[in-house]
């Protein structure tokens, strides 16, 4: 191929790769403000695709009859330089928009769309305008009868570039250099591509100057306060932040925040002091129901490892297996949350369902606790009848399966669907709530217990730690609510968790706005 054809091919492939890279990173960048859910991803994808569409239309107008090779290179240089600048500006734009969008009274859906528009419409629009110009130039210079081959080659490169950008963002860049670093790298590559077209349009000297600027500008932008890392650690799964909880507890303690959701409070000198009421209840319930001297427990999700840490300290001869898919969370728990290695505690970096189902069936665990979340909702594959069947097959007689659920106090449709589904596999399903006055708002935390043996009491008071009390909702009340709500049975084929929780996920009051 001629040099022009190579430049056309490289532009089509790399521009597509960078456009998709920015789209994947966009979901991570807005997660600290609005979480990462099907709703936030929908907002990002809609905005980015809208930008591509507008860009394609605009690029078609720019690729008019007057657009010869020289003008085409010049226009591509300007467009790609604009991609570089707007990609650099995306992170500061999110920070500038935050006081307005991440504020009381702003509907969560509007916040998601607002953040996506503020950060990612402009770079998507500009990169969308690139492909029509490249295609027009390549087609005009195609040999007789070769237009089809040229179009096929460019479309194939565009698709391959999009695949490469998606894989690079999800599997490499987010885990190795973080979301802000990925945006800086994308801006630099856009700038280099702009420099190549500037050189083709106006000669080597402008191209070299622009290439130097493309390499230096992202490095300088990365030093700006707007690019200061919002995360103490960032993994392929979440933005991890460590918050000092000493004022809340009254002694050295830390809170783990994943994206925008608190996931655990650990007290330095007292692993058994459980600040969060639902974990305190899980501990009290398990003990009151009769934990053996050497208990065995499986934890689906690690978070701050609060309860595994407490039980490993209290039962050094027990066996506690934690399945935490994100190794960065376990690493941070050891570095910042005083989690100590113990013969009683084993951590596997694996999805909880896959980890549990890889174990032979049989009475292995006295307690299985599910404490894993995607935003406010539980992962779909950890709420289905098939998952519950796997749990039941590995519980000891009289053992308890505990599930932490954040739901609406007035219309907990997902909670009721979960209770109905658990009843398919367990003889007794109980829902527990704290008896203390709940904070304002609709969102509260429930603890669901499923077992082959009932809890012989309907109320429980704390025997250690803060003075608290909890009550079990009357079974007939729960059954009547479930029948009236007509909630579905949750299966691997059909588990509409986001739909059941949409009233909560999209509620300004319940989301804390």
Q: What is the mean pLDDT of the chain?
A: 88
- Specify whether 458 is located in the same domain as 374: yes
Q: List CB contacts of 140: < 8 A, sequence separation 6 or more.
A: none
- Specify whether 111 is located in the same domain as 173: yes
Report yes or no on 298 lying in a domain.
yes
Each residue's pLDDT tens digit, 227-249: 777 788 888 788 899 999 999 88
| Residue 198 confidence (pLDDT) above 50 | yes
Report yes or no on 103 lying in a domain.
yes
Q: For the chain, what is the domain count?
A: 2
Report yes or no on 249 lying in a domain.
no
Report yes or no on 240 lying in a domain.
no
Among residues 196, 230, 264, the one where a domain terminates is 230
- Specify whether 345 is located in the same domain as 441: yes
- pLDDT of res. 506: 72
Q: Output the domain CATH number for residue 372.
A: 3.40.50.150
Tell me the pTM.
0.85
- Specify whether 190 is located in the same domain as 276: no
Q: What percent of the chain has pLDDT over 90?
A: 57
Among residues 178, 209, 230, the one where a domain terminates is 230
- Specify whether 317 is located in the same domain as 412: yes
- Specify whether 338 is located in the same domain as 193: no
What number is the average pLDDT over the span 215-237? 70
Report yes or no on 71 lying in a domain.
yes
- Specify whether 86 is located in the same domain as 139: yes
Each residue's pLDDT tens digit, 342-388: 999 999 999 999 999 999 998 899 999 998 876 677 889 999 999 99
- Specify whether 102 is located in the same domain as 203: yes
Q: To which H or E segment does residue 5 belong?
A: helix 3-34
Task: Tell me the H-state helices in 271-383.
Answer: 277-288, 306-314, 327-336, 352-357
- Specify whether 118 is located in the same domain as 177: yes
- Specify whether 358 is located in the same domain as 411: yes
Report yes or no on 318 lying in a domain.
yes
With vertex at residue 438, the alpha carbon angle to CA 299 and CA 311, rounded to the nearest 5 degrees, is 25
Q: Find the range with the poorest average confidence among 12-21, 311-320, 467-476.
A: 467-476
- Neighbour tally for 293: CB within 10 Å: 7
What is the pLDDT confidence band of residue 513, given thresholds at 50, 70 and 90?
very low
Among residues 169, 202, 230, the one where a domain terminates is 230
- pLDDT of res. 39: 84
What is the pLDDT confidence band of residue 215, given thresholds at 50, 70 and 90?
low
- Neighbour tally for 411: CB within 10 Å: 15
Q: Output the domain CATH number for residue 193.
A: 1.20.1250
Q: List CB contacts of 103: < 8 A, sequence separation 6 or more.
A: 513
Q: Find the range with the poorest average confidence among 107-111, 187-191, 456-460.
A: 107-111
- Specify whether 403 is located in the same domain as 456: yes
| Residue 191 confidence (pLDDT) above 50 | yes
What number is the average pLDDT over the span 60-74? 90
| Residue 512 confidence (pLDDT) above 60 | no
| Residue 104 confidence (pLDDT) above 60 | yes
What is the pLDDT confidence band of residue 221, given thresholds at 50, 70 and 90?
low
- pLDDT of res. 235: 83
Report yes or no on 237 lying in a domain.
no
Q: List CB contacts of 83: < 8 A, sequence separation 6 or more.
A: 15, 18, 123, 126, 127, 130, 187, 190, 194
Report yes or no on 189 lying in a domain.
yes
- pLDDT of res. 171: 87
Each residue's pLDDT tens digit, 257-293: 988 888 889 999 999 999 999 999 999 999 999 999 9
- Specify whether 153 is located in the same domain as 289: no
| Residue 56 confidence (pLDDT) above 90 | yes
Q: Find the range with the poorest average confidence among 72-81, 225-234, 425-434.
A: 225-234
What's phi and psi for 320, nearest 5 deg?
A: -130, 115
| Residue 216 confidence (pLDDT) above 70 | no
What is the pLDDT confidence band of residue 497, given thresholds at 50, 70 and 90?
confident
- pLDDT of res. 323: 95
| Residue 508 confidence (pLDDT) above 70 | no
Domain that holds residue 303: 272-505
Q: List CB contacts of 252: < 8 A, sequence separation 6 or more.
A: 246, 267, 268, 269
What number is the average pLDDT over the span 395-406? 94
């Amino acid at each position: 191929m001629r040099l022009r054809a190579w430049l056309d091919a490289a532009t089509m492939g790399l521009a597509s790769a960078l456009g998709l890279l920015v789209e994947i990173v966009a979901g991570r960048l807005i997660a600290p403000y609005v979480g990462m859910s099907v709703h936030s991803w929908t907002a990002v994808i809609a905005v980015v695709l809208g930008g591509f569409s507008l860009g394609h239309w605009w690029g078609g107008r720019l690729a008019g009859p007057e657009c010869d090779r020289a003008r085409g290179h010049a226009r591509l240089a300007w467009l790609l330089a604009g991609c570089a600048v707007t990609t650099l500006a995306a992170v500061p734009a999110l920070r500038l928009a935050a006081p307005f969008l991440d504020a009381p009274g702003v509907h969560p859906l509007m916040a998601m769309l607002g953040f996506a528009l503020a950060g990612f419409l402009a770079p998507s629009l500009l990169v969308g305008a690139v492909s029509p110009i490249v295609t027009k130039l390549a087609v005009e210079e195609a040999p007789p009868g070769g237009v089809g081959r040229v179009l096929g080659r460019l479309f194939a490169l565009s698709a391959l570039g999009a695949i490469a950008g998606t894989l690079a963002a999800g599997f490499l860049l987010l885990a190795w250099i973080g979301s802000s670093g990925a945006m800086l790298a994308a801006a630099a590559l856009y700038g280099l591509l702009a420099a190549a077209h500037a050189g083709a349009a106006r000669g080597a000297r402008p191209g070299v100057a622009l290439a130097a600027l493309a390499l230096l500008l992202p490095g300088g932008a990365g030093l700006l306060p707007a690019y200061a890392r919002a995360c103490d650690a960032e993994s392929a799964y979440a933005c991890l932040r460590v918050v000092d909880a000493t004022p809340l507890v009254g002694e050295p303690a830390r809170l783990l925040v994943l994206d925008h959701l608190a996931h655990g409070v650990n007290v330095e000198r007292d692993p058994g002091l459980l600040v969060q009421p639902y974990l305190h209840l899980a501990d009290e319930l398990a003990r009151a129901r009769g934990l053996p001297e050497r208990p065995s427990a499986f934890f689906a999700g690690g978070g701050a490892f609060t309860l595994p840490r407490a039980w490993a300290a209290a039962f050094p001869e027990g066996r506690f297996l934690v399945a935490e898919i994100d190794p960065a969370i376990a690493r941070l728990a050891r570095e910042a949350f005083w989690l100590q290695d113990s013969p009683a505690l084993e951590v596997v970096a694996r999805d909880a369902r896959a980890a549990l189902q890889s174990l032979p069936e049989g009475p292995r665990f006295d307690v299985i606790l599910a404490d894993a979340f995607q935003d406010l909702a539980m992962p779909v594959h950890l709420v289905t009848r098939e998952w519950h069947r796997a749990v039941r097959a590995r519980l000891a007689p009289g053992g308890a399966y505990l599930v932490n659920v954040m739901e609406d106090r007035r219309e907990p449709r997902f909670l009721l669907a979960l209770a109905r589904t658990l009843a398919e596999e367990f003889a007794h399903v109980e829902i527990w709530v704290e008896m203390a006055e709940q904070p304002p708002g609709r969102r509260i935390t429930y603890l669901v217990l499923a077992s082959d043996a009932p809890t012989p009491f309907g109320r429980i008071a704390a025997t250690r730690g803060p003075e608290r009390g909890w009550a079990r909702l009357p079974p007939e009340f729960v059954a009547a609510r479930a029948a009236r709500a007509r909630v579905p049975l949750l299966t691997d084929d059909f588990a509409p968790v986001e739909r059941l929780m949409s009233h909560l996920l999209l509620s300004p009051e319940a989301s804390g706005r």
